[in-house]
Amino acid sequence: MNIVECAGLAALHRLDPERAHGLAVRALSMGLVPLPGAVRSPRLETRLAGLSLPNPVGLAAGFDKNAEAAGPLTRAGFGFVEVGAATPRPQPGNPKPRLFRLREDRAVINRFGFNNQGADAVAARLARLDRKVPVGINLGANKDSADRAADFAKVLATIGPHVDFATVNVSSPNTEKLRDLQGKAALSALLAGVLATRDTLARPIPVFLKIAPDLSEAELADVAEVAMTSRIDAVIATNTTLSRDGLRSPHKGETGGLSGAPLFTRSTRVLARLSQLTEGSLPLIGVGGIASAEDARQKILAGASAVQLYSALVYHGLSLAARIARDLDAMLARDGVPNIADLVGQGRDAWLKP
């Protein structure tokens, strides 16, 4: 991180977190942020559910909810970018304040509640996008919807023609009872509807499922079974957590989903267990607490084919994506590993130990 980025982060951290986030997205959309371009290397090239990625380091959903800076973000060093979540109709989300920095814990708590401008607005921007790496959409449901399962299919029908993949997000803790859709029967029915819609697209795209880190062993086994028997293309593990174990920040009591460094171990263990349950039959994407190349490497060793980050950008800046990708490449070169895929799942057993 250079001196300019350090100064910019320091200035943003003097502002309310949500206002700072909005300014960061605006600066990106206006072309005011220097961008390195996608980091590429034969060692980093990744195949994920039919997608060709220049590197396995992606941007998680939530940073650019309305695809306002999607173009610049594809030139920020990431190997793939996910925007959203988008819902069928615009909605304001939960009352403010709803975003909190936990500096002492290198963490973030948010309770946004799927605030976004709606699927039509997001689709219009993505239709004009000149993307340099694969771009996906995170599918959400309106808070007041009578049929939330149907909402996911509606968003896919609207935005699917303009993206490279879509993620079914039933794991946000900030929309009441949304996580109930992770139950076996409900999840099977929801995915069937989404996949039926995917099959009507002129260009069918991969569909991913994003799960919570707070599932019990039985619930995780059910999710794994549904994932394998449905036709989804990958699982993202994991979303934010409701756990507050070990936090020091005065904001630790705020409601919402916790992300950042405290989530790393919990989410990586869920990832490793999911890899074991699916027996490597389904690509996995590791998310939660990644702030360095070593963190990313551990996710890959636990079973991830690719990773995503977001909260660490709050503390380390946007340049973190390119730094992680370059450092991963250097690690592979140092260890004589031809391609990052050769590491997938090689350290899973270590993460499964009590």
- Report the domain count for the chain: 1
Q: Which of 91-95, 118-122, 215-219 shows the lowest mean pLDDT across its residues? A: 215-219
Asked, for residue 27, whether it belongs to a domain, the answer is no
Residue 202 located in a structural domain: yes
The answer to whether residues 290 and 299 touch, using CB atoms and an 8 Å cutoff, is yes
The residue with greater pLDDT, 280 or 208, is 208
Residue 350 reports pLDDT greater than 90: yes
Q: Give the residue numbers annotated as catalytic, written as ranges.
A: 172
Look at residue 176 and tell me whether its pLDDT is greater than 80. no
Question: Using CA atoms, how far apart are residues 103 and 296, in angstroms rounded to an integer?
Answer: 21
Q: What is the pLDDT of residue 169?
A: 87
Domain region containing 301: 36-352
Give 171's contacts (C-beta < 8 A, 6+ positions apart): 178, 179, 182, 210, 211, 212, 238, 239
9 within a domain of the structure (yes/no):
no
Using the structure block, give the residue that is written with the tokens 């029915």.
189
Residue 317 lies in a domain: yes
pLDDT given at position 174: 60
Residue 18 lies in a domain: no
pLDDT tens figures, 290-342: 999 999 999 999 999 999 999 999 999 999 999 999 999 999 999 999 999 99
Per the DSSP assignment, residues forming a β-bridge with 210 are 169, 236
> Starting at the edge strand that comes first in sequence, how are the strands of the sheet with 257-260 ordered?
99-102, 107-110, 257-260
CATH number, domain of 248, equals 3.20.20.70
Q: Could you tell me if residue 102 is inside a domain? A: yes
Write the pLDDT tens digit of every residue in 90-99. 999 999 999 9
Two structure tokens written together for 172: 């946000």
Q: What percent of the chain has pLDDT over 90?
A: 90
CA 210 vs CA 172, 238, 243, 285: distances in Å: 9, 6, 18, 9
191 in a structural domain: yes
Q: Does the pLDDT value for residue 178 go beyond 70?
A: no
pLDDT at 179 over 70: no
Would 29 be classed as within a structural domain? no
Q: What is the mean pLDDT of the chain?
A: 95
